[in-house]
Amino acid sequence: MSVTHADFTIERRYPYSPAQTFSAFAEPELRRGWFANPGGWDESRWGRTSKLLDRLERFLAGEPVR
């Protein structure tokens, strides 16, 4: 059996500074504010990733994250 690995990039641009966006990923207390599985996600990996990126955008905008 052989396995092929490949790289891919998902890019999304936010209207926030790189420092704000990086902090939301890097600081555990901030990450807990948006990076959570609300449960019941049975979608593809991209569907989950897209939802997480949407949650990050709402978090950065100061909106409630549900």
pLDDT, tens only, 17-31: 999 999 998 998 898
Answering whether pTM is above 0.85, one says no
Q: What is the pLDDT of residue 46?
A: 60
Question: Which of the two residues, 41 and 25, has the higher pLDDT score?
Answer: 25
Within 10 angstroms of residue 59's Cβ, the number of other Cβ atoms is 20
Q: Are 61 and 21 in contact (CB under 8 A)?
A: no
Closest CA to 59 of 32, 38, 41: 32
Those residues with Cβ within 8 angstroms of residue 52's Cβ, 6 or more apart along the chain or in another chain: 34, 35
Q: How confident is the model at residue 2 (pLDDT cuts 50, 70, 90)?
A: confident
Q: What is the pLDDT of residue 4?
A: 83
